[in-house]
Structure 1
Amino acid sequence: MTPSHTILNSLLDNDFYKFTMQHAVFKLFPKAQAKYEFINRGKHRFPAGFAEELRTSINKMATLHLTREEKQYLKDTCPYLDPTYLDFLQGYRYDPDEVSVSQNADNLSVKITGYWYRTILWEVPLMSLISELYYKLNHLSGDSDEQIIRTAKNKIEKYNALGVTIAEFGTRRRHAYHTHRLVVQALKQYGSKSFIGTSNVHMAMLNQTKPIGTHAHEWFMFHAAKYGFKTANGLSLEHWVNVYRGDLGIALSDTYTTDVFFSQFDKMFTKLFDGVRHDSGDPILFADKTIAHYKSKGINPLSKTIIFSDGLDYEKVVRIARHCQGKIGISFGIGTNFTNDVGLDPMNIVIKMTEAYPEGAYWTPVVKLSDVKGKYTGDPKMIELSKTILGINDSTQ
């Protein structure tokens, strides 16, 4: 097998919400621990020697560090990140011992364990490494550079014509770092009317555009482990507001179903947050629920924004935009359809937090109850417990 030499080029080659969450964890939960696990949803078969190649790439990540220029970029672009956090990040190094990798035949196992403020950065770069190595070691090269640029150009020009704003969210399942870089450059060059930024901080810096993101499901999942399911949404939002004081105001709504979220998204939170992010379930139904919720609180939905980010392509964006026009503000985060549209099947993989260890507590399984009927992830007993506590009945979801 030819050595892949797949490496990351920057500590900032990661999704922005990993750093914003890390900053909050660093401030609020410095002694908490977490476990994560790789889930091969697409049942992909990994070639012999894959785990060894991945291990080599992981070990090389220990040399990454925040450069002086990168630190200055974060200081200038993200004034809500504390100087103490930026100093910490400058001294941060990936610890490969936090990651275990093994392979049994064509099945891959990857697990992460350690302090949450450290392990929180592993998920996205590990997924991008797994994806890139998969194509390399299977000798699946995909489209030429010229075709990749042309594809991205054609897509963003269609979004320009549609009159919507688009961000690139595709780090996790990108075909390769090189592909990702070409795509973001093309979006920036040809998307003057639509392209507003990328979730990847490294790519944002390279292209002098905006890093975009707030928080992910794990933020809410940890809060359930520490405080219980009934108060997880409210305390997650309250702690976010306490850290960011009005910045980064898009709330993720579907960790424990949108219906439960909106029942706890009271008038204070509804006013404080700029909008919500849709990440599972029917986007049209979600839009209608969100509009109805704002109206019920006496708030004009046009003063708020929904960020749609669930498996989007042009046809889905058109359908959502037409439905929401004149009703509520909208924007779109498009991932794999941008960074892994090279003529090959994209991977269907995730890395999820599986357990949390709040300070003074014990290892507790964490779960996610998405808006897709029955599509819940985590320990089955904990899923049933959360459904009972939150009053979730699958037949009515």
Structure 2
Amino acid sequence: MNDYSIIISSLLDNDFYKFTMQNAVIKLFPLAKAKYEFINRGRHSFPKNFAQILKENLDKMAHLKLSNEERIYLEKYCPYLDSSYLDFLNKYQYNPKEVNILQKGKNIRMYIEGLWSRTILWEVPLMAIISELYYRLTESKKISEQKITNITKEKLKIYKKLQVKIGEYGTRRRYSYQVQKWVLKTLTKKGNPFFIGSSNVHLSHIFSIKPIGTQGHEWIMFHAAKYGFNIADRIAMENWLNIYNGNLGIALSDTYTSPIFFKNFNKRLSTLFKGVRHDSGDPIFFAQETIKHYKKFKINPIRKKIIFSDNLDPYKVAYISSFCKKKINTCFGIGTNFTNDVGAPSMKIVIKMVKTLPEEKKKWISVVKLSNVKEKSTGKKNMIFFAKKNLHI
């Protein structure tokens, strides 16, 4: 079993937006608590002893610490993460007691609970471990570096021909750490000037590139629990501006559906944020609405950008980019199609915040994400109903 037990070897093997959100949480909501849950959307069957092997991996993660070299890298490439946060990260260690894993037959249940500022880092590495272990235990494919390099080069040819900016966002559902590393090796060698970076901080460090990302849905879901659904987007954006002063200025648009987001995205915020991220629903309709929104405020859309990040492949990128050309700037965050395109079916798994306890509240509050498509919504049915009613959706 030991050869399964060191999948995550660096504290930075995680998505960048987890660190940017953690920094903001420490500064604004240091006593808030969070609960997360594993959701097996694809109804995958897990092999015998899977939970046990997973736990062995988590126990190994307790020993991970930020190295001096990693801290120097963050200081150089992420200057908006201040020294007080880097001091916190220096002392940070994963606590496996925050994670509870149960296996019943072929089903896995998993819950994470603790201070939000601590538990926020679990989601991405946990998903990466689950994904890699699942393939190691259920697939017998021999994957070579040459094969991965060739597949990545072929995609790069298409993206270069389209002249689109692309980023790699594939940590959480990667086939393996090694596959992601090979993909990034090819992208950094052959991708200029179209490849703009990776969301994985550890691999960005290895290849001396800047990590990319801003915030995730949980940032806005927490604000809804604390301030209400109607103004969650706006206050989440205001708080983000207060922490980052215009850096990392991409707003996430679909936590409570895009129409609600645009209502909150007032002229000031539309001016100060560099653009928006699309993560669900029809991308062309979203692009049209975004352009219309900017024009309403007499903002030239060509000075703004949309980052598309919803289950992309070269065909979708070609379709979206041809529509947006000369109307609004685009960038494409490509995940599973880069890091898990080896012939095995990709996993449909997520880990989502399900409850939060803002410091001034007396009891846990269930959180929901509505998204632009029903299947991407998360949360308890009664809370989803309540949120929709509240927002008149």
Deviations 1:262-307 (A, max 9, x none): 0110000000100000000000000000000000010000000000
Q: Is the 8 A contact 2:78 2:210 kept in 1?
A: no
Is 1:290 the counterpart of 2:290? The answer is yes
Q: Is the 8 A contact 1:6 1:133 kept in 2?
A: no
* Residues 1:292 and 1:122: Cα distance change in structure 2 (over 3 Å): same
Q: Is the 8 A contact 1:7 1:60 kept in 2?
A: no
Report the residue type matching 1:60 in the other structure: K
3-state DSSP class of the match of 2:81? coil
In structure 2, distance between residues paired with 1:2 and 1:81: 36
3-state DSSP class of the match of 1:137? helix
Deviations 1:314-369 (A, max 9, x none): 00000000000000010000000000011111111000000010002120000001
Q: Is the 8 A contact 1:307 1:331 kept in 2?
A: yes
CA drift at 1:139: 3.8
In structure 1, distance between residues paired with 2:145 and 2:346: 17
Report the residue type matching 1:51 in the other structure: A
In structure 2, distance between residues paired with 1:2 and 1:197: 33
In structure 2, distance between residues paired with 1:60 and 1:330: 40
Structure 2 counterparts to residues 162-181 of structure 1, below 5 A: 162-181=162-181
Deviations 1:36-70 (A, max 9, x none): 01000111000000000000001100010100010
Is 1:342 the counterpart of 2:342? The answer is yes
TM-score with structure 1 length normalisation? 0.97
Stretch of structure 1 that moved more, 142-151 or 194-203: 142-151
In structure 2, distance between residues paired with 1:313 and 1:374: 20
3-state DSSP class of the match of 2:113? strand
CA drift at 1:7: 2.5
Matched positions, count: 392
Structure 2 counterparts to residues 363-378 of structure 1, below 5 A: 363-373=364-374, 375-378=376-379
The alignment yields a C-alpha RMSD, in angstroms, of 1.1
3-state DSSP class of the match of 1:378? coil
Q: Is the 8 A contact 2:6 2:60 kept in 1?
A: no
Counting aligned pairs with the same residue, the percent is 55
CA drift at 1:157: 2.1
CA drift at 1:2: 7.6
Deviations 1:156-196 (A, max 9, x none): 12211210000000000000001110010011111113111
Structure 2 counterparts to residues 207-226 of structure 1, below 5 A: 207-226=207-226
2:380 is aligned to 379
In structure 2, distance between residues paired with 1:257 and 1:64: 38
Deviations 1:84-114 (A, max 9, x none): 1001101100000000011000001111000
2:79 is aligned to 79
* Residues 1:59 and 1:187: Cα distance change in structure 2 (over 3 Å): same
In structure 2, distance between residues paired with 1:376 and 1:130: 22
Report the residue type matching 1:12 in the other structure: L
* Residues 1:241 and 1:172: Cα distance change in structure 2 (over 3 Å): same
Structure 2 counterparts to residues 1-397 of structure 1, below 5 A: 4-361=4-361, 362-373=363-374, 375-392=376-393
Gaps spanning 5+ residues in structure 2: where? Answer: none
In structure 2, distance between residues paired with 1:341 and 1:119: 30
3-state DSSP class of the match of 1:235? helix
Gaps spanning 5+ residues in structure 1: where? Answer: 393-397
Report the residue type matching 1:209 in the other structure: I
In structure 2, distance between residues paired with 1:141 and 1:207: 27
3-state DSSP class of the match of 1:35? strand
Report the residue type matching 1:170 in the other structure: G
CA drift at 1:3: 5.0
TM-score with structure 2 length normalisation? 0.98
